[in-house]
Amino acid sequence: MPGAAPAPTASALEDSWFWDPEQNVSSTSSSSKKDDDNDSPRSGTDLTTIPLEAPASEGEIIERLHRQLGDIRHQLKKQQLENALLNEKLTQVSNENRELNENIEELDRQHEVVVENLLTAKKGLLEKCNRLEEDLRVMHGEAAVTKELDELKVRYNKLEQSYVGSCQESVRLKAELEKVVVENVETVAALERKLEDLQQKLDQSEQRLRTETMEAQQRANVAVTETIELEQFLAALKDDNEYIKTELEETRTRCEQLESENIHQKAELDELRQKAEEEAFVALAPKEDDQAEIEELRRTIEQLRSESDRWKTDCDRLQEDNLALQKLEKNLQAQLGEQKQLLKRSEQQTLHEAQIQQLQQEVSELQNELKSVIIDNSVQLDAKEREWQDKLNFLKAENNRIQHGKDTLEADLLEYEKECSNLMKNNDVLIAEIDQLKCKKLETINENAEDSIVILEKQLEDCSRLNKSLDDEYKEMNKKLEEVLEEREELEMKVESLQKALDEKSKTVKDLQLSVETLESEKSSLLFEINETQSREPPSELSSELEKYKSKTESLQAQLTTINEDHASLVLKLQQLQQKSVENVKTSEGRIAELGKSLEAKEAVIVQLQQELERRSEEVETLKITSENEVQEELKVLRERLEAESTKSTALAVEKDELEQQLTRKLEEMDEMNRVKQAELSQTVETLTQQKDNLVQLITAKHNENVQYHGEIQRLSQLLQAELAAKTEAKAPAECTDCPTLREKLASLEQQTKKLEDFDKMADQIQFLREKSEILTNNLLIEQNNQKVLQQEKQEAIEQKNNLAKDLDRLRQHLLETEEAHTQETVELQQRYEETKRKLQALEDDVKKSTNALTSASIRANQHAETLQAQYHLLQQQRDELVAKLNTADDRDHKNQASLTNLQCALEQFQINRDRDIELATATIRRELEQAQTREANLRAEIRQLQQQLADAKNGLLAAARISDQLEIAQVTVASLKEELAKSNEKYETLEGRLQATEASQADKVEKSLVKNLVIGYVVAPNQNDKHQILKLISAVLTMDQAECIKVGLNRTGGGWFNSILGSGSAPSTPGANYNKESLTEAFVKFLEKESAPRPPGTAGGGLLNIMAHPSHSQQSAPTTASRTATPTPQQAPTVDQNQNPASATAQAATASAPAPVPVKPIVLGEFLKQSTTTFQAPRSSSSILKDILSDS
């Protein structure tokens, strides 16, 4: 078959996204005109020269603008990173300040704890003094008193040591505070400098942006001109597309005409076959020639069929090319839309420049506000440091005062001990004298001795009263001190809350800074977009967008004003609270001073009652120990600092090495990436050139094949003409009546083939090839642009390398500076070490002086002991005198002893009762504590249960909320589905009305062509049985009565070719009408199933007649060969077998040659909901009539 040969090559070339040109030998006049207009090559061989110059430079301009935008954004990101680093440094400084304040507060707390411990120790000492006095009165437990005194001394030494350590820590923390304050001031100054530098950089970047926006405007104007050219090109493409569409429609109509002619030829061939079969019995010899002619005609028909298939494939290709052109149009329209958007953005940027200037002013105002806030914070820090310094000085003074009171108490204790020892000696003397008096049994008592005892008792009572009054006053003073401390704690809490508020405000200020930075970045992007879209957007849209942005800026300004007002109000509140705290501190200090004065007065009274203890030796020892500890601690601190700085230097060196390694790695990776990209580009260029060469070869091969096919077709046509001429000469006398008609048809077919060959030579295919070549050139240009982009990226990488080298130099300088600072600090530490050594020497001198003072004090103590010995001798003399007097007081002594024993028993009973009461009270308190703990545990368990219940309730609420949301969604979906149902019901009712109307209108109409074909089939049918079946069909179509059927002769039963499909055509009341209804119902069910099944787009069939057209074949392939449409279209007419009956063939030919009605599809529910309107043909089709027949049967 010559027509079927190009099919595989065409399918192979369809995958190469090129048109398949056929017979591209010479172009028509229209194609030559288009070639002249478009200045493109005419043949496939001329496509080897592909122009590399870009017709439009819009892509390059956009890429340059994008690069510039990327550079600007990169610079802005760098500036934002620097700002973020500065903000982080500020936060670090503020955190360090907070930590220092917390350390100061901890020191204050520790100091308060020390003061409280001292006060408790003082209370304990006073209580022990009272106990010692009681013991003296009772005259028992000298050893216990000495032990308690030793314990008190040890505790006192420990307290002194802790106090000295706390003082040293406070001094160290002060020094560190001063250093931190100095560092904070330096960092603030550095940050201000960096801010100024950043502002300068911002100004420079803004100037660059302005210049670049001017350049971008110029480029945008160029882009506008290019877009106009592109639009013109698009219009030309649209015109070409419309022309191709018209040509496609013409080709379709021609194909339809050819198919109709093929159908007519098939019908004529069938008629010829029937005639040949009828005349087969008459003359066999001449019919053999006719059969040869028929075979030749069949061959020609098959050739025509193959050519028609080829034309169909060509039509499909044209449609695909049309779709490709539509896609190209869409792409061009999308590019135009992107350009329009870019122009709109440039216009918006021009409009936003004024707003950006306003934003810059606001940024400068915010920066000024930040500076003022930083200054205020520094002033507040200075004020707080002064306040804490004053408080520390006050606490030191109080400590010194407490220490002085402690010393006086210790001296008083020593005096009490001395007095106790003297009293004990006197008591021993008195006991001895009493014993002597007992021995002598004198009844006389000296009145002077009685008077002295009475005086001593009075003095003891007075001392106890004084002690009680002093204890009461001491307790009142402690209560006042506690109240003052509570007020101080409240003030500190207020200060902490204010500091938190300040921190929150600083966070808001940082957030505002970040928002300002984002606004600046948006400003830069908006400037670029404005400059791009300045010449496209209409003024109405610009005004609306201007109003939007104005409203946004006004809202931002309002937010800024509110934030500034809140900040100002918070600053005022802070100042007020600081003033209140200062006033409260002043009042508390005044109260403390008054209380201190009263304490000093009371303590002076205590000092008058007590004398100094001998503790100089212990003080010297403690001073030595503290000095040594201080020196050791300072040495440890210096060593730790040296080690920390050495570790820092090593870490910095390691970081420097790591940075260098990372930089080298990044540079190597960038080089490798560049190499890989260059290799890929070269590979892509090579592949593109290979594809181009392959395409050119394919086009030339296709061209040669087309030429060969054309030559073969011409040769075959010449052979056919020669054979036909020979036959006409040989059989001139026996010429048939149908040969001239067939020759005329052959001539018309040749003319049509020539027209189709001319149609094949359309120049649109060449134009399509040219467009494809232009696409290739565009792709090459894009690849060249990508290579340029890669080169630019390489340059950027080199610049980054240079920047990293600069950063390395800067890091080296920083390391050198840190090393210099380290050396300076070591020098300072050595100087401090020397100063501490000098202080140690001074302390040793003080120790020597104190030892000298101790020796002098020991000499004085010896002298005092000698005086005491002299007094002792005098007392012995007085004892000798009193012995005589005391002998007389024996009776009274016995009485006094009895009273003393009674008093001792009462005191012991009182102590026992008191101990019992204390034990009972402690037991009750313990029980209450245990009950409170149990209650606490119960309450905690209840709280946990409540929390669990709360969590469950929350989960339940969340689940209920979800369920309610789901219910709402379901209700919404139900409502939407109800609405859709209502709409579909309405559509269904309207369609039912239309159907009823069309059925009513078509009820009495019968197709003339169907009746005509049935009558022709009845006349032509050779068998009586077939005629009978056709009569039944005619009676069913014309809806004859039973009487009419009897008149016609349809009274008897019979079997035929149509009986297997339909059964009886007469009324069901006739007794002889027993047809196979089960097979008919099965066929009808299959027909309905096939009709209701979803249809693929390219398939179509005949109808119910085609299911059962061949009785022998229908039983085997009934479910597989069922057709989908009700009536056959002209493109899908059924072919006729050679073994088919002539009557059925004529019937099918008649139905096929009838004018094609619009196909009526069975309405499935999904399709029915989708369809809004359905079109129907006025005359009834054969399928509808057959369905009516089946329903009647």
Over residues 149-171, mean pLDDT: 72
Name which of 615, 611, 623, 610 is nearest 854 in CA terms: 615
More confident residue, 361 or 51: 361
Residues 481-535 pLDDT 10s:
777 778 777 777 877 777 777 777 777 777 777 777 777 777 667 767 766 665 5
For helices 739-760 and 616-730, angle between their N-to-C axes, nearest 10 degrees: 150
Rounded CA separation 1029/1012 (Å): 16
| Most confident among 72-86, 310-324, 513-527, 1106-1120 (mean pLDDT) | 72-86
* Overall size of the chain counted in residues: 1193
pLDDT given for residue 9 in this prediction: 40
pLDDT given for residue 979 in this prediction: 86
**Residue 980 pLDDT more than 80?**
yes
Name which of 74, 60, 66 is nearest 796 in CA terms: 74
pLDDT given for residue 350 in this prediction: 63
**Residue 544 pLDDT more than 70?**
no
Rounded CA separation 623/846 (Å): 10
218, amino acid identity: Q
Question: How far, CA to CA in Å, does 423 sit from each of 44, 459, 897?
Answer: 142, 13, 18
Residues 893-948 pLDDT 10s:
677 677 777 777 877 887 788 788 888 888 888 888 888 888 888 888 888 888 88
- DSSP letter string, 60-114: HHHHHHHHHHHHHHHHHHHHHHHHHHHHHHHHHHHHHHHHHHHHHHHHHHHHHHH
pLDDT given for residue 825 in this prediction: 80
Q: Radius of gyration (Cα) for the chain, nearest Å?
A: 61
Dig out the tokens for 331 from the structure: 């792409």
**Residue 648 pLDDT more than 50?**
yes
pLDDT given for residue 1168 in this prediction: 39
pLDDT given for residue 486 in this prediction: 80
Rounded CA separation 425/835 (Å): 54
Residues 820-870 pLDDT 10s:
887 888 888 888 788 877 887 887 787 778 777 777 777 877 777 777 778
- DSSP letter string, 1152-1184: HHS--PPP-----HHHHHH-S-----SSPPHHH
Over residues 1130-1142, mean pLDDT: 37
**Residue 789 pLDDT more than 60?**
yes
pLDDT given for residue 72 in this prediction: 79
pLDDT given for residue 285 in this prediction: 43
Any idea which of 116-125, 244-253, 355-364 has the lowest mean pLDDT?
355-364
Dig out the tokens for 309 from the structure: 């298939």
Dig out the tokens for 576 from the structure: 């007020």
Dig out the tokens for 420 from the structure: 């106790």
Name which of 380, 400, 399 is nearest 388 in CA terms: 380
pLDDT given for residue 1056 in this prediction: 42
Confidence of residue 373 (pLDDT cuts 50, 70, 90): low
Q: From the CB of residue 785, how many other CB atoms can be counted at a distance below 10 Å?
A: 15
Contacts of the segment 803-806: beta carbons below 8 A, 24+ positions apart: 804/659, 804/663, 805/663
Structural contact between residues 271 and 1016, judged by C-beta atoms closer than 8 angstroms: no
pLDDT given for residue 453 in this prediction: 64
Over residues 360-378, mean pLDDT: 68
- The SS3 of residue 1160 is coil
Confidence of residue 1077 (pLDDT cuts 50, 70, 90): very low
Over residues 169-191, mean pLDDT: 72
Residues 32-85 pLDDT 10s:
433 444 444 343 434 444 444 444 466 777 777 778 777 877 877 777 787 778
Confidence of residue 818 (pLDDT cuts 50, 70, 90): confident
More confident residue, 230 or 441: 230
Is residue 809 exposed (0-12), middle (13-18) or buried (19+ Cβ within 10 Å)?
A: exposed
Over residues 149-153, mean pLDDT: 71
CA 264 to chain centre: 71
pLDDT given for residue 290 in this prediction: 60
More confident residue, 779 or 364: 779
* DSSP label of 732: S
Q: What percent of the chain has pLDDT over 70?
A: 60
What H or E segment, with its residue span, contains residue 511? helix 447-532
- The SS3 of residue 661 is helix
Whole-prediction pTM: 0.20
**Residue 1088 pLDDT more than 70?**
no
Confidence of residue 1063 (pLDDT cuts 50, 70, 90): very low
Dig out the tokens for 444 from the structure: 């006389």
554, amino acid identity: E
Return mean pLDDT, the chain: 68
Rounded CA separation 150/148 (Å): 5
Phi then psi dihedrals of residue 1065, to 5 deg: -95, -10
Structural contact between residues 984 and 1167, judged by C-beta atoms closer than 8 angstroms: no
Q: From the CB of residue 2, how many other CB atoms can be counted at a distance below 10 Å?
A: 14
Rounded CA separation 270/738 (Å): 13
* DSSP label of 1157: P
pLDDT given for residue 775 in this prediction: 83
| Most confident among 14-28, 382-396, 873-887 (mean pLDDT) | 873-887
pLDDT given for residue 489 in this prediction: 78
CA 691 to chain centre: 44
pLDDT given for residue 1060 in this prediction: 41
